[in-house]
Amino acid sequence: MPVLTGSSAYAMCEAFDWKYGLNEKLRDALRFYAIIAISTLIGLLINFLKIPPVTALFWTAVINGVLAPPLLVLIMLVSNNKKVMGKRVNGKLTNFLGWATAAVLFAAALGMFLTWGK
């Protein structure tokens, strides 16, 4: 089983609290096996469309770079919420590092867009 299809299936099933695992029968973990099958089909499609692997990696990195800043902001908001985290909210250093990282990521994404094609 390719690593990416399996890891994405495990991650999605854990996130949505679905039954998962290669030791489970198909009828018991249908969503898990469906994610593996769909991921494999997408990989085949990329191959048959002759999309160069380096191009696919480049665009994956661009997407990750654009999505990372807002996701980090959400993580910071949740990790500072006493209703969610209780006594385990972020400390001053963690907040400083987290918000500084988010600012740098936003600046990097903005810089990418401003200099695209130059």
What residues make up the domain containing 107? 53-115
**Regions in the chain scoring below 70 on pLDDT:** 1
Crossing angle between the packed helical segments 3-16 and 30-48, to the nearest 10 degrees: 140
- Predicted local distance difference test score (pLDDT) of residue 25: 96
Rounded-to-10 torsion of CA 10, 16, 17, 21: -20
- Predicted local distance difference test score (pLDDT) of residue 43: 87
DSSP letter for each residue of 11-75: HHHHHHT----TTS-TTTSHHHHHHHHHHHHHHHHHHHTT--HHHHHHHHHHHHHHHHHHHHHHH
**Total count of domains within the chain:** 2
- Predicted local distance difference test score (pLDDT) of residue 1: 54
**Quick one: 43 and 58 in the same domain?**
no
- Predicted local distance difference test score (pLDDT) of residue 94: 96
**Quick one: 60 and 111 in the same domain?**
yes
**Quick one: 32 and 81 in the same domain?**
no
**Quick one: 44 and 59 in the same domain?**
no
